[in-house]
Amino acid sequence: MAPSKRATPTQVINLIYIRAAIEANTGVKLSLEQVRQYLVEEGLISKRQAQTKAPIFNGYAEYFASDDFAIEDKPSERPTAHDLDYKSS
């Protein structure tokens, strides 16, 4: 089996965190693409690292695409005072 080209969570370069640090220190808000490009231009990461370890975050949909959060049963009615008294005895 060939090794995956995807970075494991401990290898991922967190562009959102880096962008936040840049904004906090400079007041400039960059796109994630710009952050990644500047990291390459400054020699902080290689082009290969930018491609494999610095993904652009596009939401959580890819992780939850197969999950079904549908509720098929109707919620039960709220218990009455009689129901609560019955259960406690």
Per residue in 8-45, pLDDT tens? Answer: 667 889 999 999 999 999 999 999 999 999 999 999 99
Residue 13 in domain = yes
Residue 83 in domain = no
Residue 42 in domain = yes
Q: Looking at per-residue confidence, does 64 or 4 come out higher?
A: 64
Tokens of 3: 């090794």
Residue 72 in domain = no
Residue span of the structural domain in which 6 resides: 1-55
Q: Looking at per-residue confidence, does 26 or 84 come out higher?
A: 26
Q: How many domains does the chain have?
A: 1
Place of tokens 């919620």: 75
What is the spatial distance between Cα 6 and Cα 83, in angstroms, rounded to a whole number? 54
Q: What percent of the chain has pLDDT over 70?
A: 58
Residue 17 in domain = yes
Q: Which amino acid is at 43?
A: G
